[in-house]
Amino acid sequence: MSKPFHYDPDKESKAYPMIRPVIHFLVKFVFREQVIGLENIPQEGNFIVACNHITAIDPVFIAENCPRTVHFMAKVSLFKKAFPRWLLTTMNAFPVDRGRVDMKAIRYAQALLDRGHVLGIFPEGTRSKTGTPQRAKGGVAMIANQTHSNILPVCIYFDGKPHFRSRLTIRYGEVIPYEALGLEDDEHNAQTLRDAAAFVMEKITELWQMKHE
């Protein structure tokens, strides 16, 4: 990274409200986008947005249409060059090292939720090469467990590989209450965390299977 990332959960990008409509216009120009289920997004309070991962700009698809500001975890390598770093920080993203258990990023994610913000996570941990949802890693369940946060499942769906004027559907599902994850009585059990993460991914996959309906 060219310089250390400044972790401050009490500070949001001042440029975000200005760049968001520009990004929204660009997405509408490049893709034939439809957004379904915006009424499922909580209007207040903290929660975790959990979404499948297809492209490097997946956070953009959510940020440009979600009425709540989402702080996304993004892989640390994206912050090494000036323009991607500027764009990501403008959109309130922060780096996470996916090659290890990045406790600094995890603690920052927890601090964001503790302050009532919205956290964005891709539970698969990396982009799907086939476009179909893959197995989730345990991070989403671990953070939900530490903060007792509800989870909003989201699906990004393309027909085949994305290209200019591809049809794009972004679908927001119903909120998964923290209590539905089965974590209250067994917070240190690794298998329970894996099961909870798999449950979240199952809900995302159900949205994905609806395609453009």
pLDDT tens digits, one per residue of 110-137: 999 999 999 999 999 899 999 999 999 9
Tokens 């892989």 sit at which residue? 75
Tell me which H or E stretch contains 88.
helix 82-90
* Total number of domains constituting the chain: 1
pLDDT tens digits, one per residue of 148-159: 999 999 999 999
AA identity, residue 209: Q
Q: Answer whether residue 6 is part of any domain.
A: no
Q: Residue 91: which region, alpha, beta or left (left: phi > 0; alpha: psi -120 to 50)?
A: alpha
CA 185 from chain centre, in angstroms, equals 26
Q: Answer whether residue 114 is part of any domain.
A: yes
Q: Which residues pair with 154 in a beta bridge?
A: 51, 172
pLDDT mean over 89-100: 87
pLDDT band at residue 184 using 50, 70 and 90 as cut-offs: confident
pLDDT tens digits, one per residue of 16-70: 989 999 999 999 999 999 999 999 999 999 999 999 999 989 999 999 999 999 9
Quote the tokens at residue 164.
């200019």
In the prediction, which pLDDT does 1 show? 43
Nearest to 52 by CA among 213, 211, 205, 194: 205
In the prediction, which pLDDT does 3 show? 65
Assess contact for 149 and 113: CB atoms under 8 A. Answer: yes
Q: How far is CA 179 from CA 86, 151, 161, 166, in A?
A: 37, 10, 36, 38
Pairing of strands 94-96, 70-75: parallel
CA distance 30 to 32: 7
Domain residues for 168? Answer: 16-208
In the prediction, which pLDDT does 9 show? 87
pLDDT band at residue 186 using 50, 70 and 90 as cut-offs: low
> Which CATH number fits the domain that encloses residue 51?
3.40.1130.10
Strand ordering across the sheet containing 70-75? 32-36, 167-172, 151-158, 47-51, 118-121, 70-75, 94-96
CA-based end-to-end distance of the chain: 42
Nearest to 52 by CA among 212, 202, 210, 213: 202
Q: Answer whether residue 4 is part of any domain.
A: no
Q: How far is CA 114 from CA 46, 47, 154, in A?
A: 8, 10, 22
Q: Answer whether residue 132 is part of any domain.
A: yes
Q: Answer whether residue 171 is part of any domain.
A: yes
Q: Answer whether residue 1 is part of any domain.
A: no
Q: Answer whether residue 164 is part of any domain.
A: yes
What secondary structure letter does DSSP report for 170?
Answer: E
AA identity, residue 22: V
Q: Answer whether residue 8 is part of any domain.
A: no
Quote the tokens at residue 136.
């989730």
